[in-house]
Structure formats: structure tokens, C-alpha cells
Amino acid sequence: MEYNNQHHKYTQCLSIFFDLIGVRQRHLCLGVLTCCLSGGIIIAEFQQPSPFYTGYWMGSGILVTALFMLLCALKPSKLLLIASAMLDAAAIAITFAGSFRLLALTAETVYTAGWIGLATCVFLAYHCASCIYDNGACCKWKNANEVNTTSTTANTDELQAEEATGQEGREGRRRRRRTQSPPIDFRLPDEMPKLPEYEELSKSEGLPPAYNSLNIAPPEYTPPLTEVTINDESRI
């Protein structure tokens, strides 16, 4: 979650940094500005020649890059953006190396082309990054995070739906048990047919003898032989 928040802030900063103006307007402005800086380097080299004509090499490389910027302004296709970004990287390397040679290795003379070259490197780096941004690299990262977030949300929704379905199923089973009608042949005990002469039977005949009173056998009762033998043995 923390990574997603940081990445969202990162992509939001890039969007603010590169989407201040339209894509074609941005490439057009950078192309025109880079052409002016390239011309300034060539003019400075013409007025103040440097060893190995470093300013001309720098100005030529920057001019080619500026032409590709203008092409990106006319038709910002994917291949053209990739080619322009690669040329920007090459021009940055050449311009920075030339400016370093003019400013650091020839300390006795201050060359204007070196300072203009360093300023041009900043705009070249910005255009290179904007080409990568316009090519959709940041959008792919953003879409990947959105897919992960969407899948997580979908899984959570599925779990909640399953839990709700389970609760509804349990409540439905309880409701059916409460409202379920008895079988067709079900009868209450009072509704069952009674045996013949059921009402004439005394309650004492159907109950077991009480244990708090002596049970005396009727006169016509004859105990079996085994019971008499057991009683005699107990008396002995």
C-alpha cells in the first residue's frame, strides 16, 4: 500500500512536470530553443575558435537533435520519439564532453561556446525524459499498479459476495425450517384412532405399581417355581 502511494505521487509529479503544455507544443518549443542555442554555439565558435573546432561539433550535433524535435512536434510517433531520445542522449554526451574540454582543460581562455553547451545539456536532458514519458513508459507502470489494485478489489468483492451468499443461504434454510409444513399423513396424538374400550380402562391398570406401598398379589396369583425357590433360599 505504501509503495502504491509513493508510485502514485511519483507519476503525479511527472504528469505535472511534463503536461504543463501540450505534447506537440512542448516539442516545438524545445526544438526552436535548441536551434537557437545550436546557432549560438556555432557563432561563438566562429568568433572565438577553439582547438579541434569543438564548438562546430557541438553545434552540429545539437542542430540534428533540434530537427528531430521539430519532427516530433509534427508527428509524435513511437519510433520517432525513441529515435529522438537516443539522439538526445548522444548529443548530451558530445556537448558535455566538449563543454568540459573548453572550460576545464583550457583554463587560460574562457570560451562562450562551453557555457552555452552546458545550458543546452539541461534542455536536451529534459527533452529526452519527455520523449520517454510521451512514449508511455510511465503509463505502463501506472496501468500495472491499476491492474493489481483492480484485481485486489475484485477478490475482496468476491469474498464479500460469497459471505453474503452464505449468510443468505443459512437464513433461507432457517426460514424454510420455520415455515415448512408437516407431512401429509402427520396427525397429532389426540387425532389418532383409539383402541376399542379405551375410555373404560382405568388409569391404575396402565400404570406401574407404586414403590412406597406393599404390592400384594391377588389370591388367584400363583408364583412360578423358580420364584418360590429363590424366596426359600433367601429365608435360609
pLDDT for the residue 141:
47
65 touches 88 (CB < 8 A): yes
pLDDT for the residue 86:
94
The rounded average pLDDT for each run of 10 residues, N- to C-terminus, in the chain (236 residues) is 43 64 88 94 89 88 94 89 93 92 77 90 92 74 47 58 64 68 72 69 58 64 55 53
For the beta carbon of residue 87, count every other beta carbon within 10 angstroms.
Answer: 22
Which pTM does this prediction carry? Answer: 0.53
Q: How far apart are CA 112 and CA 93, in angstroms?
A: 18
Ramachandran class of 224: left when φ > 0, alpha when ψ lies in -120 to 50, beta otherwise? beta
Grid cell listed for 27: 516539442
pLDDT for the residue 145:
47
Q: How far apart are CA 43 and CA 8, in angstroms?
A: 45
pLDDT for the residue 75:
86
Q: How far apart are CA 189 and CA 35, in angstroms?
A: 108
For the beta carbon of residue 114, count every other beta carbon within 10 angstroms.
Answer: 24
58 touches 117 (CB < 8 A): yes
